[in-house]
Amino acid sequence: MQCWNCGFENIPGMHACSRCSSALELADVAIEPPRRTAHRAGATALTRLVNRVRAAAESGWNAAERSAQQVRFIPNAADRSVTLAWCVLPGLGHLRAGLRFAGTLFLGLWLLFLLLMVASLATEWSWMCLAAMIAVHGLSITTLWAMALANYSLLKRALCGLLIYALLVLWVYMPLRWLCLRILVPLPTTTLMSCDAFSSGDGLLAYGPWLRPKTFERGALVAYHIGASTGEVVVRRGIGLDRVIGVAGDRVTMANGKLCVNGLPPKRNLAPLGYVPPTSSLDIQLADQQYCILPTRLRIDNAQGHTALAEVYRRVALVEHDDIIGRVFFRLRPWSHFGWTK
């Protein structure tokens, strides 16, 4: 009996081929192919997804290579300088040169890190996002200028890249940061001498010096520079956060643990945010451009005697107008308390 698979002549009466072990009777041959199992279906879908991602990555890489090669076709040095001037925003220079893929990529990444920086204000992540923005900006400029430096040595090209990053930091981002801090100041409570009304993970937003009013009213929640010392007590300098309880012309006193402003106890919304430790005596008469802010938490490195503590509280509580950074008006974190401060 001849095998239908390999053609070998087998002895009559055998059910399987002696050479390839194929079934010799047609009834034993499976006509319908086996159905695909769920495992094989999942593997096939994963393979297709991987192939699509690989094809997209290869397409993007080829487009980036074509964009990089087109840089050499920018006509002359003057035109390259104009194109470079467009890089005030990363990607605009590439778009002007007709490099749409590279320009869209750089501009999109820069805007993404900008949004992340705004969302993470008053945290350490905002600095990382700012560093990423500078890196994307510098990379966009160096890719445009790379072909002009192709004939220079590797050391000169590296120094040119460092110079570009340094100029971006000194001429663009540091002035922008200084300008933004004149208007709005993010305040992480981890760096504040704050009270228990705010936890250490909170993030606050205050008006900057340019938006500072001529006078502050009683009850205003402000951030201010704090720090004082006597021979016996040293208060660590930093940024305080509390309410203004006295303005020019007011008299603030504390006797037997009782705080009074102009002879009357302050209302709850005009009092300090938290508990103020009592002192033996406190008497402050406020002059023009002076405010009284009693901090509810002080970092005292050394203290000897109640008299010295009362004196240092008097010095710390007396705040000049220029020492106030601005009024705290918004709470960024936690998200459950996101909104205006009261």
Residue 41 lies in a domain: no
pLDDT digits (tens, 9 = 90+) for 289-306: 999 998 876 655 555 555
pLDDT digits (tens, 9 = 90+) for 126-184: 999 999 999 999 988 888 777 666 677 778 878 888 888 899 999 999 999 999 999 99
* Residue numbers of the domain that contains 168: 58-184
Q: Which of residues 151, 184, 217 is at a domain's end?
A: 184
Instruction: Please report, rounded to a whole number, the percentage of residues in the chain having pLDDT higher than 70.
Output: 76
The counts of H helices and E strands in the chain are 8, 14
Strands 238-243 and 192-193: parallel
**DSSP code at position 10:** P
Q: Which of residues 162, 184, 206 is at a domain's end?
A: 184
Is the domain of 197 the same as that of 312? Answer: yes
Residue 143 lies in a domain: yes
Is the domain of 196 the same as that of 316? Answer: yes
List the CATH number of the domain containing 278. Answer: 2.10.109.10
Number of domains the chain is built from: 2
Query: Residue 230 — pLDDT band, cuts 50, 70, 90?
Result: low
**DSSP code at position 246:** B
Q: List helix spans (H) across 146-223.
A: 154-168, 174-183
Query: Residue 80 — pLDDT band, cuts 50, 70, 90?
Result: low
Residue 18 lies in a domain: no
Q: Which of residues 155, 184, 213 is at a domain's end?
A: 184
pTM (predicted TM-score): 0.66
Distances (CA, A) of 192 to 14, 223, 236, 322: 93, 9, 11, 18
Task: Give the pLDDT of residue 329.
Answer: 92
Sequence-ordered list of residues with C-beta below 8 angstroms from that of 83, at least 6 positions apart, any chain: 74, 93, 96, 97, 144
Is the domain of 198 the same as that of 95? Answer: no
Is the domain of 209 the same as that of 227? Answer: yes
